[in-house]
Amino acid sequence: MKTTATAYVAMNPRRCTACWECVGKCPKKVIGKTGILCHRHVAFKEADACIGCGKCIKTCPQGVFFKPGEAVADRRVSAGMAFRMERLLPLAFVASAVTGVGLHLAGHGASHEVWHNWSVAHVVASFLWLLSVALHVKRHKDWYKALISKSAFNGRRVTFALSVCFLAVAVTGILLVACVEGANSSLGLWHYKLGIFLLALSLLHALRRR
Residues that bind ligand HEM (CB under 6 A): 17-18, 37-38, 40, 89-90, 93, 96-97, 100-101, 103-104, 107, 119, 122-123, 126, 129-130, 133, 136-137, 140, 143, 159, 162-163, 166, 169-170, 173, 176-177, 183-185, 188, 191-192, 195-196, 198-199, 202, 205-206, 209
Residue 177 and residue 122: Cα distance in Å, rounded?
A: 11
Contact 32, 43 (CB under 8 A): yes
Report helix, strand or coil for 100. Answer: helix
Integer-rounded Cα Rg, in Å, for the chain is 21
Considering only residues 3, 12, 34, 59, which one is a binding residue for ligand SF4 as defined by CB under 6 A? 59
Which of the choices ligand HEM, ligand SF4, none does residue 206 contact, using the CB cut-off of 5 to 8 A by kind?
ligand HEM
Which of the choices ligand SF4, ligand HEM, none does residue 192 contact, using the CB cut-off of 5 to 8 A by kind?
ligand HEM
Contact 23, 40 (CB under 8 A): no
Which of the choices ligand SF4, ligand HEM, none does residue 125 contact, using the CB cut-off of 5 to 8 A by kind?
none
Considering only residues 3, 12, 14, 20, which one is a binding residue for ligand SF4 as defined by CB under 6 A? 20
